[in-house]
Structure 1
Amino acid sequence: MTHVVCTDDGRRLSVEEMGKSDGDPVFLLHGTPGSRIGPHPRISVLYWLGVRLITFDRPGYGGSDRQVGRSVGSVAGDVSAIADHLGLDRFSVVGRSGGGPHALACAALLPERVLRVAVLVGLAPHAAEGLDWFGGMTPSNVTEYTVALSGRHRFADWLAPAAREIRADPASLIAGLYAELPEADRRMVNNPGVRDMLLRNYAEALRRSEDGWVDDAIAFCSPWGFDPADITVPTLLWHGGQDRFSPIDHSRWLATRIRTATMWEEPEAAHFGALAALPDLLPWLVNGEDAA
């Protein structure tokens, strides 16, 4: 079921619901670039676990209007607006990759509403003290974030040609990254079902513009608008030891700052291993049960 939710400042957010309509609500925050129709657990799994999964296009992606100058913390207002529209008082939040910092924002800024938060292959703040932020990161990501640090306009100009190519052929994004993928990630993206979900996700994310991608990257490299150390809700950090896009040291750093955090490391998994891990985390997200 698709909704259009209007925010207090007049923006439209494109929202998707799936799973059990009266189930336990869980917000899934997509990666970068990404959209509301990105990879998610099978509908049968959501029904079996009694989960009402809610996804939405962050501003500038898919069907959602842009919010120029947004910070990572800005997402908390959008999640609140969607929850109010759907009549939800309490909910859990999970973010994958670029959605990870945004999930943490909800936990930090909406503690009275967020029950639990999970982050899969997420990032730490760029100014994280004692962390080599680029350490272990693929050359393509190092270049992307280095350009983002030089400013919004320069980064937008730099990203535009690649975004046009991906818009014309979403498979070009995977093809461009393939040489940098560890073997675990190659196995994931070579799976026809996973590949199809990723291609539909990228196509929807960039169908109007690359504004969401630009604003995500700038937000990651700027002050987030909250301190992860302020998070008080139960937090689960999942990371693959072979991840080269969001290196595992980012989650390890977060685990030392968030008092309520539990770290779950999968040594042989990589970045896209988060797609397979999410269904195992859902029981914990909805009722605190140990993940399988």
Structure 2
Amino acid sequence: MEGFVRIGDRIVLYNIYGTEGGVPVISFGGSPSTRWKRPDAVAAIDAAGVRLVQADRPGYGGSTRQPGRTVASVVPDVVALADELGWEGFAVTGGSGGGPHALACAALLPDRVTRCAVTGSISPPIVDGPEPTEDEEAADPRRNRTSWKALHGDLRPGMEEAARSIMSAVEAGGPELPPDPGAAPGPPAREDSAAMARLAATFVTSHDGWEDDLIAFAKPWGFDLGDIAVPVTLWHGSADERAGKYADHLAAAIPHAERRCYVGGHIPPANAYRELLRWLTLS
């Protein structure tokens, strides 16, 4: 099911998944991302018994761009979306670049957010000083070159090259998602029109939302992680060393946050995603 909500002179497009009458969940995709979920994720949502909404952030898909937005700028959009759906209370979840947006809601909407689960989330970067070296970034991903360039350089060339590389690999017969270390690759994405539509929405249609996300991450997020009082779980894959380092910093900053490690890489497998969604339904 698709819908949209008007916020001033902007529109935000969203999709609804899962069980009618299920526990309300608002989900935030990674950077870049799309509101279109893969079939394995849809099946996990159905199995968990939740009613999940994922919107395209400003600049993605059909959602109007919002130049200069911060991470916390997502909160008024979420309030408008929840009000449109008639949801007084709801859980939030976000993967990778969606994690900070879920955490913003947990911090700034304590009377409405019930639980927050993030997967492979980044933590606030360190952007002062000269451009980090590869060794500095490997030691501490908060000192990453992407965030540094978001404030001191030009992101577009690197983003466009990354998008071209991903789509070239897909056109050569690659899967929609890179396989986890040691796992066999999935079927060729070019043979699946729905997969190609998701990839085009993420990497071809526009890079505006992606760029605005990266700039927002590099600036002050607009809230204090220490203010989060709702239950939080920090999920990451056993093969995702970078996300594990980010989780170290998030766990130190967020009171009472719990760590959860699943077997896999950056994107959780279906069984881990089901477990995360079911945790969101606990009272």
Cα separation, partners in 2 of 1:47 and 1:149, compared to 1, 3 Å: same
Give 1:1-292 correspondences, 5 Å limit: 1-7=1-7, 9-39=8-38, 42-127=41-126, 134-135=137-138, 142-151=144-153, 154-163=154-163, 165=164, 171=170, 184-185=180-181, 187=183, 190-192=185-187, 199-243=196-240, 246-266=242-262, 268-273=263-268, 276-288=271-283
Distance between the aligned counterparts of 1:275 and 1:44, measured in 2? 8
Residue 111 of structure 2 aligns to a residue in which SS? coil
Of stretches 251-260 and 194-203 in structure 1, the one that deviates more from structure 2 is 194-203
* 1:250 CA displacement: 0.8
- Check the 8 A contact 2:170/2:189 in 1, yes or no: no
Of stretches 104-113 and 255-264 in structure 1, the one that deviates more from structure 2 is 255-264
Cα separation, partners in 2 of 1:199 and 1:150, compared to 1, 3 Å: farther
Paired letter, 2:3: H
The TM-score, its normalising length taken from structure 1, stands at 0.81
* 1:4 CA displacement: 1.3
- Check the 8 A contact 1:93/1:118 in 2, yes or no: yes
Cα separation, partners in 2 of 1:275 and 1:79, compared to 1, 3 Å: farther
Distance between the aligned counterparts of 1:169 and 1:149, measured in 2? 29
Q: What stretches of structure 2 of length at least 5 have no aligned partner?
A: 128-134
Residue 187 of structure 1 aligns to a residue in which SS? coil
Paired letter, 1:228: L
Cα separation, partners in 2 of 1:207 and 1:160, compared to 1, 3 Å: closer
The TM-score, its normalising length taken from structure 2, stands at 0.83
Identity of aligned residues (%): 38
Paired letter, 2:233: L
Report the aligned-residue RMSD: 3.4
Paired residues in the alignment total 273
- Check the 8 A contact 1:237/1:261 in 2, yes or no: yes
Match of 2:130 in 1: none
Paired letter, 2:48: L
For residues 243-265 of structure 1, give each alpha carbon's deviation from its aligned partner in whole angstroms, at most 9, with x where no partner exists: 15x43111111111111311112
